[in-house]
Amino acid sequence: MKNKIAIIANGYVRNLDFHRSLLKDADIIICADGGADNAKKIGVIPNYIIGDLDSVSKSSIEFFNNKSKIIKDNNQDKTDLEHALFLAETFNPSEILIMGAIGDRIDHTLANIMCLDKIKTDIKAEIIDNKNSIQLVKNRIEIKGKKDDIISVVPITDVDNLSYTGLKWNVKNLDTDIGWFGISNKVTDGKAVIDFSKGKILIIRVRE
């Protein structure tokens, strides 16, 4: 079993040292198409590059040609990130870390975030950059952090019995829908717990 798989997409990768440090303990690195340009910029060799290869530069394909396995998939019913996630799940990982998933195309960014819902529930999955960490949660989650860490809770479905403790503004047994947002809450000590009986929520941690 490969425990931790990193996927590099084609969005922003601004802090190279931050992303390089995240990749150090990845068992497998997969680039989603143009994510190979980001891998080259970071200075890592991916195990796989997958997609229809319409966004990756010719120079990166030539650079990685004898170093990485390149898989061309012309299925336009799936995004490049979906192709990368499908490949990642064939290795039965316990964790998938996705970087380069946030960019200036809001449609691509939203599609990438919603891809978290396509990942098997028993796999820990996270979109991350040097400013944000995004997880889709379908049950109880315990968050460890520092005092005043910013946590936002965004329901993407109707949610039943939403409760959280350890945050500055807590709720208890709240039934809510997709139109309710818990933005810019803060951790009051080293741990917060978010619990609910039904639904799906995005947990967004912001680093200032």
pLDDT tens across the length of the chain (208 residues): 569 999 999 999 999 999 999 999 999 999 999 999 999 999 999 999 999 998 999 999 999 999 999 999 888 788 999 999 999 999 999 999 999 999 999 999 999 999 999 998 889 999 999 999 999 999 899 999 888 999 999 999 999 999 999 999 999 999 998 878 899 999 998 899 999 999 999 999 998 7
* Residue 21 shares a structural domain with residue 112: yes
Task: Give the CATH number for residue 192.
Answer: 2.60.120.320
Q: Could you tell me the residue range of the domain that residue 141 belongs to?
A: 137-206
Query: Residue 122: CB partners within 8 Å, gap ≥ 6?
Result: none
pTM score, two decimals? 0.93
Domain boundary pick from 115, 130, 145: 130
**Within this chain, do residues 29 and 86 fall inside the same structural domain, yes or no?**
yes
Element (H, E) at 111: helix 106-114
Are 122 and 142 contained in the same domain? no
Amino acid at 146: K
